[in-house]
Amino acid sequence: MRYIGLLILCLSSLADARPISYPQGWTAMQQNNPNENRLHVHYSPNAFHSIGAVIHRFTPQKQSNVYAASAQWNYLVFRRNTRHSQANMYSKFGIGLADEFTNHVFSTLSVAADWETRRWFTAYEANAFWSDSSTEFSQSARLGVAPYVAEYGALHTWLMLQVNHQPEAEDTVIFTPLVRLFKGSVLTELGIDDNGGILFNWIIRF
Amino acid sequence: MKHFKLLFIIFAIISSIGLAQEITPTSSTSSIFVNVKGMVCDFCARGLEKGFGKRNEVENINIDMSNNLITINLKADATLDDETITELVKSNGISVEHINRQL
């Protein structure tokens, strides 16, 4: 049960460092690693909120598939714009169902912060998970650099290092170097963690 | 002779009015230059393009991320006030630093 909570949290997601899109925008994003897949579709009525649905499949300890579905609300708590940077703080609240829990219900709460320029990117996220049988905590951080600064509409490339900390897991700290590419409304990420597991994420905004 | 002079003057006045009407364009376009803060990623700018693109007054916009500049090119005889521009930029999570206009 505890492991499942961590799995639900671990893909919640520094990949979507911008969890709210432009006003009236739709976002579809998928995150994948060797044991889990997560699909999240959300709508942003304005630049301060997004609401969406998440479907999650994972295979804890190489056993049979577990499926979870949840609704998620993201909120922009704080933003500071300067000429060359933007800093944000978000809260993300989810409530969902998974067969694995006795009363099937779980909830998640994340607080995320990021600061970026056109050259540097930093992000941090703390996550909490509750079900009838467990309470879990995890956190993650990213540091990224753009080897070149691309103009609007061109291909943007970022080299990033992600670190995940899950105190209750067998492997408490996982490092994942990854490459992020985006052009227009499409973003993809490809990385390999220090256990050799492949990370592949994509985001499309409409 | 006196009549000729008077006729000539009247003719000159009417001609100059006619010429003036021919030369002066019946419509004009303008651009508005908006310096912004916080436009550090393509997604931020894309929202601005969509937002301004929905306005009937706007022909198109140009994004210059290096100079934190949005250029709004208006349609002929269209206007867009500063308050509307500021609100559109702000609704995309970006801040306006200042707005300059040029005919």
Q: What is the residue type of A21?
A: S
- Average pLDDT in the B41-49 region? 88
Look at residue A102 in the predicted model and tell me its pLDDT.
Answer: 57
Q: Which residue has the higher pLDDT, B89 or A168?
A: B89
Q: Which residue has the higher pLDDT, B14 or A185?
A: A185
Give the residue among A177, A158, A73, A203 at the shortest CA–CA distance from B40.
A158
Using pLDDT thresholds of 50, 70 and 90, give the confidence band for residue B24: very low
The pLDDT mean for chain A works out to 88
Q: Which residues of A touch B66 (CB under 8 A)?
A: 149, 151
Using pLDDT thresholds of 50, 70 and 90, give the confidence band for residue A60: low
Kindly report, residue by residue over A141-190, the tens digit of the pLDDT. 999 999 999 999 999 999 999 999 988 778 889 999 999 999 999 999 99
| Chain B interface mutation, best of A152, A157, A187, highest count of B Cβ atoms under 10 Å | A152
| Percent of chain A residues topping a pLDDT of 70 | 87
Q: Are strands B95-102 and A25-33 parallel, antiparallel or unpaired?
A: unpaired
Give the residue among A22, A19, A38 at the shortest CA–CA distance from A30.
A38
Look at residue A182 in the predicted model and tell me its pLDDT.
Answer: 92
The answer to whether the CB atoms of B68 and A84 lie below 8 A apart is yes
B94 CA: distance to closest CA in chain A (Å): 7
Kindly report, residue by residue over A127-147, the tens digit of the pLDDT. 998 888 788 899 999 999 999
| Percent of chain B residues topping a pLDDT of 70 | 73
Residue B93 pLDDT greater than 90, yes or no: yes
Q: Which letter does DSSP use for residue A150 in this model?
A: P
A184 touches chain B (CB under 8 A): yes
The answer to whether the CB atoms of B40 and A84 lie below 8 A apart is yes
Q: If interface means Cβ-Cβ distance under 8 Å, which residues of chain B face chain A?
A: 36-38, 40-48, 50-51, 63-66, 68, 91-95, 97
Edge-to-edge strands, sheet with B31-37:
B58-64, B69-74, B31-37, B95-102
Whole-angstrom Cα distance, residue B87 to residue B5? 60
Alpha helices in B1-101 (DSSP H): 2-23, 42-53, 82-91
Return the minimum-mean-pLDDT range out of A61-75, B8-22, B34-48, B63-77. B8-22
Residue B20 pLDDT greater than 70, yes or no: no
- Average pLDDT in the A10-22 region? 70
- Average pLDDT in the A86-115 region? 89
The answer to whether the CB atoms of B41 and A21 lie below 8 A apart is no
ipTM of the prediction: 0.82
Q: Which residues of A touch B44 (CB under 8 A)?
A: 22, 86
Nearby residues of B11 by Cβ (< 8 Å), 6 or more positions away = none
Whole-angstrom Cα distance, residue B81 to residue B39? 21
